[in-house]
Structure 1
Amino acid sequence: MKKNLILGFLVILIAVASCSFTNKSFENDDKDKLLLDLITYILERGHYEPKDINDDFSVNVFEDFIDVIDPTKRYFLEDDILEFEKYKFQIDDQIKNTDISFFNLVYDRLLLRMENATDIYKEVLSEPFDYSIDESINIDYKEQSFAGSKQDLKERWRKQLKYATIGTYDAKLKNQDLMLEEDEEYTSLPKEELELEARKETKNTLDEYFDFVSDLQRKDWFVYYINTIVDEFDPHTYYFAPEDKEKFDISMSGKFEGIGARLQKKPEGAKIVEIISGGPVWRDQQLEVGDEILKVGQGGEVPVNIVGMRLEDAIKLIKGPKGTVVDLTVRKVDGSVEEISLTRDVVELEESYAKSATVKKENNKYGIINLPKFYVDFEDYGERNAATDVAKEVELLKEEGIEGLVIDLRDNGGGSLKTVVEMAGLFIKDGPVVQVRSSGKEKDVYEDKDERIQWDGPLVILVNELSASASEILAAAMQDYKRAVVIGSKQTFGKGTVQNVIPLENIVRSNEHGDLGAIKLTTQKFYRINGGSTQLEGVKSDVVVPDRYSYIDLGERDQRNPLSWDKISPADYKPWDGYIDYEATIESSTKRMASNPQLALIEENAKWLKEQQDTNVVSLNFDTYKKEEKADREKSKYFKSISDYDSHLTFESLKYEEELFTQDPDLREKRNRWHNDLAKDVYVEEAINVLQDLKINNIKNGKLASVKG
């Protein structure tokens, strides 16, 4: 159905677009203007919720494009911005007339200012930093104005470079102290020499960065301009240049060489927003969602500072062939800065698949299925997909004699819609699972039509802020049917939109410009069977529990230009009637969680992490810097006890996996580590408590009903 929808959409666009683009010609910048014309045409006619390209749109593009190419405000001067502002209310007209003079002006000035910046940082780093001065830097660059003069700009660079160097200087002092402890004959260097070495390292990283940037072509910067325009429509609509489209196809196949993490651009570096199961980051366990990568080094070489670098360029540095080492300087979510070395590898697909275990509590046995994503092979649905794999795991768990089931969708970013509908059907008799609406069209209701129920026992679904898209559909359906108790964050991610990737070459009948890339376009919206959208609001858990991300900016609501929440008519469905005391079970769980000391500690940690993220003023006085670092380190150490928790639950692999361990010791190690993590997981422990409550309530009330009958 999805393939037919895409084809239908393309047929409409091609039929109309061929008239518009076959005979169009431009005098200058042909490909850029064709690209701008083509993309805005598709956005206006194909996007789920097209925006008016007016003066307000123009202002947003103006501000966002400047922010994209100079996020730390270390290139442009106030006079530059004033000159650019003559276009502030004209960009909408330029877009309609395929005029790119605004881009040309900004691009030409950027090259000049980058050349000036090279002279500035070399001059600043030629002089020692005085760390005894009581001064600080505000790293909330959004709230700052552009420098008013070249002297002001030089002062801004001085503070930024001092800030970039103080950590290196501190690390060298620590390393020297360590060497003195280990070797009595070690000759220490004076602080002045260590400070000089630290400045040299900072200079080397900037030299490499500017060498890297100098290799970028005009077309690379134009892609940023195009995507600034595209991004005004919604955060999931995106233009892929030809080489980026190829990378997207590789990532969709699930096979790529790198570190196994999805990154998001931030002014202070690249933020980790997803860790891919089975990849180097996942195996190493030193990085986590929320950490920010500041520098990237190649196997012991001097690291390159990626602050202010385009995300795609930073990713090029981070990715690399299997077996090579990448050194990442990272600011952890708790504010500490560490250097972490990872060996790049092919991400192991096996850890992206469903896996299950049995859980023993007292004399009862339960099952847990972990599903990292809703995977599918679109070329061959029968090859392997999330729905059939989960169905197999459920059957195997039933053979083990489980009395309740947990589906763990935490950190699951979504995937195939078809697999969600089939998976929901494993737990209900039949009926609607999700509603989908295209712009200006009637809704489509996706239903489970198979009356068989594979699991009719107690069911719990675990979610968190990173459960998105397809995960939200399953959780919402089970919640609306009152089929499962949803335990987790206050709300899930909130991505309730559908995207289709459209190659631009399919739109232009006669193209002399080669591969034009593709656009990932938002074309539909998801709705729960109760009529509410999962967009923005996500799924609100039945039992809300804090986690370390509770107060950190994550989710659709924290993206730029998200589509709004709305509601349509509900589908025709009948709630599950297999539970007795369903509401009482939720109330009982909520009370347990409110008095749980482990969760109180987790919430305290979450609030502290939020405080750390909101601290934008950093001292450049070394003594103060050290004092603050020590306090942060002690606080971070205090929260390490969270990982010492023991639920005293016993987790075991299924029999078929036990037989595989003799042939695959790596699989045994992965499962042992997973089971150890589960045993420390207070959320899994509560999920088992809820299963126990649902089972007991059903048995007790079932017996009473029989007696009364």
Structure 2
Amino acid sequence: MSLSLKRFAVLLLALTPALIAARTEPAATLAPEANQAVTARMVYGLLSDSRYAYAPRQLDAALEEDILRRYIEALDREKLFFVASDIARFEGYAGKLAEAIKGAGLEPAYDIFNVYVQRVGERVAFARGLLDAGFDFTQDDEWRYGREEAPWAADTAELDALWTKSVKNDWLRLKLAGRDDEQIRTTLDKRYANLERRVRELRSDDAFQVFMNAYAGALDPHTSYLNPRAADNFMQAMSLSLEGIGAVLQRQEEYVVIREIVPGGPAGRSGQLQVGDRIAAVGQGRNGAMTDVVGWRIDEVVQLIRGRKGTDVRIEYLPADAGVDAPPRQVVITRDRVRMEEQAAKSKVLEIEDRRIGVIELPTFYLDFEGRRTNAADYASATRDVARILEQFKADGVDGVVMDLRSNGGGSLNEAIELTGLFIEQGPVVQVRDASKRTAVHGDSSGAVAWEGPLAVLVNRASASASEIFAAAIQDYGRGLVIGEQTFGKGTVQTLVDLDRFARNENQRFGQLKVTVQEFFRISGGSTQHRGVVPDISFPVTLDASEYGESTYDNALPYTEIQAVPYQRLGDFSALLPELDARHRARAAEDLEFRWFSEDVAKFRAERARKTVSLNEAERRADRARDEAQREQRQAERRAAGLALDEGAFDDDGLQADERNVVQDVARQKAAEDRPDPLLRESAAILVDAVDLLAADEGRLAARVLRPGRTSTVWAGGADR
């Protein structure tokens, strides 16, 4: 498992004397816009009012200091741009932020932002200036990353020393990947120049959004402000649909490049655009003027390409395999509504001994709110998609179902409730408490069960919010086993406030506020806040509570409990858990892939805790050689055991994603997605163990584990084959 460090993107620039001279010119000074003062006042009114915010805070001196700290950290989290004297000057603004947000003027926030842009330019100039001489990699030196808790650099000289080590590490990574000195100079010069360019491209609304998020985030970790463009993107992500051409884009050098063609979408149906094609110009309709978009921000290009269903867009592009001087091609595409299937529920069936276990991978609890409101026939809904998969599983005769919610960060609260209803007849699912401490119980009353058989829920530390509601309800009911890691611990509910609608404004001007309005509790009375959901059967912990999760936020709400609500427990797996865990551990010790996963997790955690990497070439090559020897040994063991080879592992190539060949990078990503998944297979095996244990004792254990009831009867009876 190679160690990768956060670095920056790429810009195609030739290193000429003219460009070297130009790169330190001051960027355009950003200033607040008229709409922003109105927006700030609205956000202040909402966040300071207990009728809207779950935990409102008055905008006093303490909060001003907190906002300033968060704003500076948002700009320079690893403390690589500002120096101590900058911070000392910024501290003079702390007493002015309340009035700025209330309407006196946002100039203090913009002054800090403009200094940041200037400091980035200075750092980039320094980094690029190091590239001519190269580095000595025989010294026993190291680069210490993850500087969030480090003190601010005392002066420019201290920053120079930090950046020298950072650039040295970037150079060494590329050298270890087989690039020569000239290739390394070219790659890094483009990378650092692009960092400055990206920062110079930031606009007033970007600066405003960062500042308002510092204010919103000071209340709690999940309250945030979205400018109009960000709000549109959020709603499209939640609905899994948009109106456009059906292509996933990325920025690469000065072009926006096609990374993926959505199957069945307009671009795919045209048969002309391919992965890796570079967009040069965009025109509206069949005869509208073409707009050159080379060098544009990706969100600006996306805005030109998206549009109403049934309208035409013309795209001028350079094919992936053509040079930059090749004649461009042009295609006319009729926009349509496109569903982003990559984020939708997916299914597969695993063969475990003589059992067939259906797996449902759910990346998010998505819901097309507008489609549901208008009762559109095909609106996207996680529950509807999972219900269709469960019907297919029943037709295929699967013996059990694993709901894979790993890295599912949540989504619609309503979807979490309705999804739970697919597995229980009826009953409460979650308790929700608002700012006035009134508690409401939400549950399923349909009486219909989509799946009555064996069930397991697979989670990890990145399973959060709606995932935790679902997993907690399944666990509280004893409806299924929860397997994996302790979850994130997010026990709060947010709602989107459309500020334009709030202000009765017809046009998009003000954006939206995602504000925490409620806290949710399990039907058993406990909260998932901080604690998350603790699995019944645990897997190796990749990230613990001190590294990732709700408990790492300094202003997260505390864990609390309320009274449980009446509900009928369907089962109690406590009698099974010791035997299930013993079988799991014995099997995991013999399972090559699971054992290797555990070893890799331990190595990753050790590297993460160390937060340093050697800058000695011989030492790094030795590490790389050990990693390669380990991979080769594992492949040999796979062959001997008759296992599929792992074609998705790869060495660190030292590149950023947008520095790689897009076609090759997509293939590399697909190979990584196809790597063996020992955790999923082991989860299915644990579920098979539970089924077998219930069947083996002719009902005696089943009587202890499962109480009478429709769902539990199926668990016990369905276990008999």
TM norm structure 2: 0.69
- Structure 1 residues 636 and 499: alpha-carbon distance in aligned structure 2, compared to 1, 3 A threshold: farther
2: CA distance, partners of 1:637 / 1:558 = 38
In the alignment, structure 1 residue 504 sits paired with structure 2 residue 504: no
The residue correspondences of 1:103-252 to structure 2 (distance < 5 A) are 103-171=109-177, 174=178, 194-252=180-238
3-state DSSP of counterpart to 2:441: strand
**CA displacement at 1:480 relative to structure 2:** 1.0
In the alignment, structure 1 residue 557 sits paired with structure 2 residue 521: no
Matched with 2:689 is: 689
3-state DSSP of counterpart to 2:365: coil
**CA displacement at 1:353 relative to structure 2:** 4.0
**CA displacement at 1:614 relative to structure 2:** 2.3
Matched with 2:577 is: 586
Matched with 2:47 is: 43
One-letter amino acid of the structure 2 residue matched with residue 249 of structure 1:
M
Confirm or deny: 8 A CA contact 2:576 2:690 kept in the other structure.
yes
- Structure 1 residues 390 and 153: alpha-carbon distance in aligned structure 2, compared to 1, 3 A threshold: closer
3-state DSSP of counterpart to 2:148: helix
One-letter amino acid of the structure 2 residue matched with residue 411 of structure 1:
S
2: CA distance, partners of 1:157 / 1:112 = 16
Confirm or deny: 8 A CA contact 1:461 1:487 kept in the other structure.
yes
1: CA distance, partners of 2:93 / 2:523 = 46
Matched with 2:430 is: 434
- Structure 1 residues 447 and 141: alpha-carbon distance in aligned structure 2, compared to 1, 3 A threshold: closer
Confirm or deny: 8 A CA contact 1:552 1:609 kept in the other structure.
no
3-state DSSP of counterpart to 1:486: strand
2: CA distance, partners of 1:350 / 1:316 = 24
For residues 340-367 of structure 1, what are the alpha-carbon distances to aligned partners after superposition, in whole Å with 9 as ceiling and x for unaligned?
Answer: xxxxxx9974454445455555555554
Confirm or deny: 8 A CA contact 1:409 1:463 kept in the other structure.
yes
The residue correspondences of 1:634-653 to structure 2 (distance < 5 A) are 634=629
In the alignment, structure 1 residue 535 sits paired with structure 2 residue 529: yes
One-letter amino acid of the structure 1 residue matched with residue 699 of structure 2:
I
For residues 618-648 of structure 1, what are the alpha-carbon distances to aligned partners after superposition, in whole Å with 9 as ceiling and x for unaligned?
Answer: 2323223323433455456667799889899
In the alignment, structure 1 residue 473 sits paired with structure 2 residue 469: yes
2: CA distance, partners of 1:152 / 1:115 = 17
- Structure 1 residues 644 and 39: alpha-carbon distance in aligned structure 2, compared to 1, 3 A threshold: farther
1: CA distance, partners of 2:549 / 2:106 = 34
2: CA distance, partners of 1:366 / 1:619 = 45
Matched with 2:88 is: 82
2: CA distance, partners of 1:298 / 1:355 = 26
3-state DSSP of counterpart to 1:141: coil
Matched with 2:62 is: 56
For residues 278-320 of structure 1, what are the alpha-carbon distances to aligned partners after superposition, in whole Å with 9 as ceiling and x for unaligned?
Answer: 99xxxxxxxxxxxxxxxxx98899xxxxxxxxxx989999999
2: CA distance, partners of 1:609 / 1:251 = 31
Matched with 1:390 is: 386
2: CA distance, partners of 1:645 / 1:498 = 51
The residue correspondences of 1:547-696 to structure 2 (distance < 5 A) are 548=542, 553-559=547-553, 561-576=555-570, 582-595=573-586, 596-597=588-589, 598=591, 599-634=594-629, 681-696=681-696
3-state DSSP of counterpart to 1:232: helix
More divergent stretch after superposition (221-230 vs 457-466): 457-466
**CA displacement at 1:433 relative to structure 2:** 1.2
1: CA distance, partners of 2:640 / 2:385 = 31
Confirm or deny: 8 A CA contact 1:260 1:277 kept in the other structure.
no
3-state DSSP of counterpart to 1:681: helix
2: CA distance, partners of 1:169 / 1:318 = 36
Confirm or deny: 8 A CA contact 1:485 1:586 kept in the other structure.
no
- Structure 1 residues 163 and 89: alpha-carbon distance in aligned structure 2, compared to 1, 3 A threshold: farther
Matched with 1:546 is: 540
Confirm or deny: 8 A CA contact 2:531 2:559 kept in the other structure.
yes
- Structure 1 residues 298 and 57: alpha-carbon distance in aligned structure 2, compared to 1, 3 A threshold: farther
The residue correspondences of 1:446-485 to structure 2 (distance < 5 A) are 446-485=442-481
Matched with 1:416 is: 412
The residue correspondences of 1:330-349 to structure 2 (distance < 5 A) are 349=340
In structure 1, runs of 5+ residues without a counterpart are 1-26, 176-193, 262-275, 280-296, 302-311, 327-345, 650-669
- Structure 1 residues 583 and 684: alpha-carbon distance in aligned structure 2, compared to 1, 3 A threshold: same
Matched with 1:15 is: none
- Structure 1 residues 117 and 484: alpha-carbon distance in aligned structure 2, compared to 1, 3 A threshold: closer
Matched with 1:516 is: 510
Matched with 2:28 is: none
Confirm or deny: 8 A CA contact 1:458 1:694 kept in the other structure.
no
**CA displacement at 1:502 relative to structure 2:** 1.7
- Structure 1 residues 514 and 223: alpha-carbon distance in aligned structure 2, compared to 1, 3 A threshold: same
In structure 2, runs of 5+ residues without a counterpart are 1-30, 251-259, 264-274, 280-295, 306-314, 321-336, 645-669, 709-721
- Structure 1 residues 630 and 442: alpha-carbon distance in aligned structure 2, compared to 1, 3 A threshold: same
Matched with 1:16 is: none
One-letter amino acid of the structure 2 residue matched with residue 508 of structure 1:
A
**CA displacement at 1:568 relative to structure 2:** 1.6
Identity of aligned residues (%): 27
Matched with 2:661 is: none
One-letter amino acid of the structure 2 residue matched with residue 32 of structure 1:
Q
**CA displacement at 1:51 relative to structure 2:** 2.7
Confirm or deny: 8 A CA contact 1:358 1:368 kept in the other structure.
yes
- Structure 1 residues 691 and 348: alpha-carbon distance in aligned structure 2, compared to 1, 3 A threshold: farther
TM norm structure 1: 0.70
2: CA distance, partners of 1:137 / 1:318 = 38
Matched with 2:37 is: 33
Confirm or deny: 8 A CA contact 1:495 1:536 kept in the other structure.
yes
One-letter amino acid of the structure 1 residue matched with residue 90 of structure 2:
F
3-state DSSP of counterpart to 2:699: helix
**CA displacement at 1:528 relative to structure 2:** 0.9
2: CA distance, partners of 1:207 / 1:685 = 51
3-state DSSP of counterpart to 1:446: strand
Confirm or deny: 8 A CA contact 1:394 1:455 kept in the other structure.
yes
**CA displacement at 1:432 relative to structure 2:** 0.9
More divergent stretch after superposition (90-99 vs 71-80): 90-99
2: CA distance, partners of 1:643 / 1:347 = 41
**CA displacement at 1:78 relative to structure 2:** 2.1
More divergent stretch after superposition (526-535 vs 513-522): 513-522
- Structure 1 residues 684 and 648: alpha-carbon distance in aligned structure 2, compared to 1, 3 A threshold: farther
1: CA distance, partners of 2:508 / 2:447 = 51
3-state DSSP of counterpart to 2:166: helix
Confirm or deny: 8 A CA contact 1:235 1:561 kept in the other structure.
yes
- Structure 1 residues 691 and 51: alpha-carbon distance in aligned structure 2, compared to 1, 3 A threshold: farther
Confirm or deny: 8 A CA contact 2:496 2:515 kept in the other structure.
yes
- Structure 1 residues 406 and 324: alpha-carbon distance in aligned structure 2, compared to 1, 3 A threshold: farther
- Structure 1 residues 441 and 675: alpha-carbon distance in aligned structure 2, compared to 1, 3 A threshold: same
2: CA distance, partners of 1:229 / 1:642 = 54
Confirm or deny: 8 A CA contact 2:495 2:514 kept in the other structure.
yes
1: CA distance, partners of 2:496 / 2:364 = 20
1: CA distance, partners of 2:635 / 2:458 = 23
**CA displacement at 1:540 relative to structure 2:** 1.0
The RMSD of aligned alpha carbons is 4.4
**CA displacement at 1:573 relative to structure 2:** 1.0
